[in-house]
Amino acid sequence: MIIVDDTSFDFGQGAKSRRSVVTIGAYDGVHRGHQAVIEQVRQQAQIFDARSVVVTFDRHPASIVRPESAPLLLTDLDQKLELLANTGIDATCIVKFDEASSREEPSDFVRRVLVDGLSAKRIIIGEDFHFGHKRGGNVAMLRELGPKFDFDVSPIELISRGDGVDEPVSSTAIRRALAGGQVELATQLLGHNFEVRGVVVQGDQRGRTIGFPTANIEVPRAICIPADGVYAGVLTRANNAKHVCAINLGRRPTFYEHADHSMLEAHLLDFSGDLYGEKVKVLFTHFLRGERKFENIDALKMQLKHDIEQTRAVSTV
């Protein structure tokens, strides 16, 4: 169930008096750390015979509070909602976040959303979580408000990466992995493959002229993408058909001396057809190699054949 904060939190007839176990956050990527928090929310909700609810935002708060340094997103809103629904949570509450919201005092947010809106019984958050104006909301503040509004607070420790690196699973660590082309590490931290979504647009059709046609996918600029390179993956079409694909992400230096931005191109194995205008999903499974400039077209074609062989060996639908 998806509810929006300006719709009076309508859970349906007869549900008004039921309490909620709630967590709050941007939940970008819905990674393993997020999943651990949500599992605690679900377990505690069962104990209290309450609703399990994730409170998140219609955009990343940093895009309003500090737009000059806001992080690129691991998931757009639709992806995030799908991933949250897959956790088995009872409801996701989407809070509109704008300039006015950024100035809302944490205590006012607690009363408006968590108490009046969701009738929170317990609030479960990461021990380092902050929210509200000037990040004034935290575990200590919630504990102070708890007796007044009849809820308690359960902070949980952040889960470790589990690969020998002494830091917790975080969206920041995942973005760093993607910046290094480490999509396998990103998958490990996410608990699911990294995926981007975009519309297939018409390119210069150079791939077609050398026997390797590609779908050129326009990904919104606000979305994080891996480092330039060649990857194996899976493309899902609007009709849910899945195709193994070799992905080139980069500026195509063999053809262009100074391209102004990276392009995402997917060569679908064993496929011929027109994808123009379709919104597709591109899932990254393996890093194959870095992008480089080839001496001539024949050398490029030889490498592309090898890339496709590698893709076929490591990716399946």
Q: Are residues 223 and 96 in the same domain?
A: no
Mean pLDDT for the chain overall: 89
Q: What is the per-residue pLDDT across 270-307, written as a single tens digit (0 to 9) for each?
A: 998 889 999 999 999 999 998 887 778 888 888 899 99
CATH number of the domain encompassing residue 298: 2.40.30.30
Rg of the Cα atoms in the chain = 22
Q: Are residues 149 and 196 in the same domain?
A: no
Q: Are residues 139 and 75 in the same domain?
A: yes
Task: Give me the residue label for tokens 């002494």.
Answer: 166
Angle of CA points 116, 117, 118, to nearest 5° = 105
Q: Which two tokens stand for residue 299?
A: 């050398």
What percent of the chain lies above the pLDDT cut of 70? 89
Q: Are residues 86 and 222 in the same domain?
A: no
Q: Based on the number of CB atoms within 10 Å of its own CB, is 192 exposed (0-12), middle (13-18) or buried (19 or more)?
A: middle
Number of domains composing the chain: 2
CA atoms of 107 and 285, how far apart (whole Å): 43
Q: What is the per-residue pLDDT across 13-51, written as a single tens digit (0 to 9) for each?
A: 445 568 999 999 999 999 999 999 999 999 999 999 999
Q: Are residues 36 and 146 in the same domain?
A: yes
Q: Are residues 17 and 102 in the same domain?
A: yes
Q: Are residues 110 and 255 in the same domain?
A: no
Q: Are residues 17 and 135 in the same domain?
A: yes
| Range in 118-122, 127-131, 204-208, 217-221 the model is least confident about | 204-208
Q: What is the per-residue pLDDT across 140-192, written as a single tens digit (0 to 9) for each?
A: 999 999 999 999 999 988 888 888 788 999 999 999 999 999 999 999 999 99
Q: Are residues 19 and 142 in the same domain?
A: yes
The answer to whether position 182 is within a domain reads: no
CA atoms of 315 and 244, how far apart (whole Å): 6
Domain holding 241, by residue range, is 192-314
Q: Is the pLDDT of residue 247 over 70?
A: yes
Q: Which of 268, 183, 267 is nearest to 226 (CA)?
A: 183
CATH number of the domain encompassing residue 39: 3.40.50.620
Angle of CA points 270, 273, 277, to nearest 5° = 130
Structure confidence at residue 136 (pLDDT): 85
